Structure 1
């Protein structure tokens, strides 16, 4: 249900074409709410049909795509959604379940997967920190949009957590594998 709200938010920030929205999702919104090109275009059609957005008046210039803007009903729908209560979603991460299973059946290469995840989270953290440096420099801290910065900071903190946790999990997995190897090695006399 949140994709239409993500699109309404993006269109209120700046009227855009479907292609521009796709690019914006790839660069910013997609860090916390992803959508494919097809999903965005499909949702634009539904939002337009529902009377929440409209194509900007006037014929599109040659080579220019149809741009959309939010109508008052769309702003009201987004405002109402912002105020709705919603419980946090429980964590359903297959990696956590795999680690729990490894405690029962052994690691069997899970350490490589932990290293891969660690690398992915380190890269994502670096990208978020780069975005923060570029878009929210300390000199502009009082003038920038604090709420957008908070969203980015949430991403930074989540990635920092995963990097720390995966580092610890990898160390524990390596230690577990070493202990298992030592226990299975024949005694030297």
Structure 2
């Protein structure tokens, strides 16, 4: 149920047409909660039918006129209820970590190139976040609203920092591995590279990365914006 609440948040920041909302989504909230334009338009219709938002009448009615939406009191109440509701972290899944685990039994062919590609993408995203942080949060900009938005951005910075550091470490580890690992070696329960069997028969996460860590940040092209950016 997070997409409708993301839309309510964006519309409370600034009433918008569907087209404007999709553009704002791509440049801000979409970094940490992505949605297609079709999903956003569909959700706008549902929110309006539920009495949580309304379409504002056009100032000059004309064919093809874009309709702006604003949040009604019931929508603000629903967003407040959802924000205050406790939620558990979602189970974490990451294909790259699973592929590294699989490489311990079938070999590492092709993985180095992909690790280098992932590192480049995360370095690019990290540089973008830091540039935006410097631009949008100069010293003295510390209202409660700005501090919360900055906190969201810092989450993105810290996540990208983790991934760039971990990927560099993974590439260093690869320099010490044989070119191919095609056979299991050692005693039962031991993976090539030193994986240790845990109670229940499951090996630890590859490279020592806890399985509960957050996943990769969503990467979006186009104009540089950030997850916590306020209304334009």
Scaled by the length of structure 1, the TM-score of the pair is 0.89
Aligned counterparts, 1:135-154, within 5 A: 135-137=136-138, 139-143=139-143, 145-154=146-155
User: Does residue 1:115 correspond to 2:116, yes or no?
Assistant: yes
> d(CA) in 2 for partners of 1:60 and 1:118?
50
The residue number in structure 1 matching 2:28 is 28
Gap runs ≥5 in structure 2: 182-232
The answer for unaligned runs of 5 or more in structure 1 is 181-189
How far off its partner does 1:133 sit? 1.3
Deviations along 1:8-58, one digit per CA (max 9) or x if unpaired, are 000000000111111111111111111111111000000000000000134
Report how far residue 60 of structure 1 moved: 5.1
Question: Secondary structure at 1:68's aligned position in 2?
Answer: strand
Asked if 2 retains the 8 angstrom alpha-carbon contact of 1:111 and 1:174, the reply is no
Matched, 1:8 2:8: yes
Partner of 1:183: none
Give, in angstroms, the shift of residue 178 of structure 1.
5.3
- Classify 1:69/1:106 alpha carbon distance in 2 versus 1 (closer, same or farther; 3 Å): same
State the distance in 2 between where 1:35 and 1:118 align. 25
Q: Which residue of 1 aligns with 2:96?
A: 95
Does the residue aligned with 1:176 lie in a helix, a strand or coil?
coil
In structure 1, distance between residues paired with 2:148 and 2:6 = 15
Which has a greater percent of helix?
1
**Match in the other structure for 1:55:** 55
**What SS does structure 1 have at the residue aligned with 2:97?**
helix
Q: Which residue of 2 aligns with 1:167?
A: 168
User: Within the alignment, does 1:38 sit opposite 2:68 as a pair?
Assistant: no
- Return the structure number with greater relative CO, CA threshold 8 A, min gap 6: 2
